[in-house]
Amino acid sequence: MKIRAGQLAAALKNDLAPCYLVSGDEHLLVAEATDAIRLAARDRDFTERDLYVATSGFDWEQLRTSGSNLSLFAEKRIVELRLPTGKPGVTGARVIADLAESAGSDLLLIVSAPKLEGGGRTAAWAKAIESRGAHIAVWPVEARELPGWIANRMRRAGLEPDRAAVALVADRVEGNLLAAGQEIEKLRLLLGEGRVTADDVAAAVADSSRFDIFKLTDAALSGDAARTLRILSGLRAEGSEPVMVVWAVARELRMLAGLADTVADGKELGAAMQKMRIWRNRQDQIRRCIGRHQRQDFRRLLRAAGFADQAAKGQNGADPWQVLTEIVLSLASPSRSAA
C-alpha cells in the first residue's frame, strides 16, 4: 500500500507493517519518517537493529544473512537498508524482494532511498515492499508552503512565533528543510520556549557562539582562508550534517556563477546584485570574490559541489568534508590557487 507522509503517524498507531520503503530527496523528512517507524517498532518490542548502507561493492549476502539469522530465542529485529542510489542492481533487488517476503512478526524491513524515478517506482523490489507493507513517498515542501511548515515546526518545539519571525527564518534557509530544522532547534536552545519575534530571531543569530554555516560562506567569499578552515572544522566537530554544509556552499556558488556570467555579458555587477536582492552589506565581499576569480572557476567549483553532495549522501566513496575543504579553500583563494 501507499501511505502519504502526513498520514504515517496515524497509520503506525493502528498497525505496524512487516516492511517499509521510504523514498524522497528531502533528507530531513526521510530521516524523520524512518525514525517514526523505528520508534513504533520499539514500542512493539523490536529491540535489535541491523543497519546497512548499500554503497559501491556492498555485500548483499551479508544483508540476506542478517534477515535469516533468527531463532526461537532471538529478539525481534529491525533490518534497515539505506539505498543511496535507489538502484540495488539485479542481486540487490532479489535480496530485498526476498527479505520483504520473509518479513513479519519478528523481522521488520525498512528501506530508505532517494526519489524513485520512472522504472524505479515499478521495480520488482519496490513493488514487493509495497505489496507486503507500505511505500511512503516523501515530497518536497513547496515554497508557498514553507512558512506554514516552519511555523508548525516552531510551535511543536514550544515556540510561539509571529509572522515576521517565521518569514525571517524562511528567508534564511531558502527552502532547505534540514537547515530550517537546525535553525529552529538553535532558537529553542537559545531563547527557550514562548513567544518569538523577528528581533528575537535576529538577536539569536547574532549572539550565537556556535560555528555557523553562513559564517563559513561569508569567510570564503571574503578571502579569509584561515578563518574559513577554522569554521569548517568547527562545523564538523559540532556534528553538522555535511549535506547541509554542501547545500549552503553550492547556493553561494550558483549565485556567484550567475553574477560572473552577467559581468561577462557586459552588464554592471552592482545592478545585477540589486536585481538578485543581495543585501547591501554583502555586496563588497561578493564583488571582491568575483574579482579574484575567473568566470570558469565558479562553474568548476559548482561541479565539485555536486560531487560533494553525492559523497555526503553516500553515493560515492569520497569524504564529503575533504571535498568541502578543497572547495572552500579554492573559493577563498585567488584564481590561480583555485585552478
- Residue 63: is its pLDDT beyond 60? yes
CATH code for the domain of 166: 1.10.8.60
CA atoms within 13 A on the CB side of 303: 4
In whole angstroms, what is the distance from residue 124 CA to residue 130 CA?
10
In whole angstroms, what is the distance from residue 306 CA to residue 187 CA?
30
- Residue 205: is its pLDDT beyond 80? no
Q: What is the mean pLDDT of the chain?
A: 85
Query: Is the same domain home to 40 and 157?
Result: no
Which contacts of 32-35 are long-range, i.e. CB under 8 A and separated by 24 or more positions?
A: 33/5, 33/8, 33/136, 33/138, 34/80, 34/110, 34/112
Domain that holds residue 57: 2-137
Strand partners, 173: none
Distance of CA 126 to the CA centre of its chain: 23
Query: Is the same domain home to 273 and 322?
Result: yes
Domain end, chosen from 207, 231, 259, is at 207
The β-bridge relationship of strands 134-137 and 159-161 is unpaired
Distance of CA 322 to the CA centre of its chain: 18
Query: How many degrees, rounded to 5, is the angle at CA 22 between CA 176 and CA 306?
Result: 45
Task: Give yes or no for a contact between 196 and 187, defined as CB atoms under 8 angstroms apart.
Answer: yes
Domain end, chosen from 154, 177, 207, is at 207
223-239 exposure pattern, b = at least 16 Cβ within 10 A, e = fewer: bebebbbebbeebbeee
User: What is the DSSP track for 131-151?
Assistant: HHSEEEEPPPPPGGGHHHHHH
Query: Is the same domain home to 133 and 154?
Result: no
In whole angstroms, what is the distance from residue 202 CA to residue 20 CA?
41
Give me 306's grid cell.
555536486
Residue 339 banded pLDDT, cuts 50, 70, 90:
very low
Query: Is the same domain home to 219 and 320?
Result: yes
Query: Is the same domain home to 27 and 110?
Result: yes
The β-bridge relationship of strands 46-53 and 2-4 is unpaired
Query: Is the same domain home to 203 and 249?
Result: no
Query: Is the same domain home to 130 and 196?
Result: no
In whole angstroms, what is the distance from residue 266 CA to residue 261 CA?
9
Q: How many domains does the chain have?
A: 3
Domain end, chosen from 137, 172, 195, is at 137
85-139 pLDDT per residue, tens: 888 889 999 999 999 988 888 889 999 998 887 777 778 899 999 999 999 998 8
Residue 162 banded pLDDT, cuts 50, 70, 90:
very high
Query: Is the same domain home to 67 and 124?
Result: yes
Query: Is the same domain home to 320 and 259?
Result: yes
Query: Is the same domain home to 21 and 90?
Result: yes
Give me 118's grid cell.
520512472
- Which pLDDT does position 209 carry in this prediction? 40
In whole angstroms, what is the distance from residue 54 CA to residue 49 CA?
16
Query: Is the same domain home to 238 and 325?
Result: yes
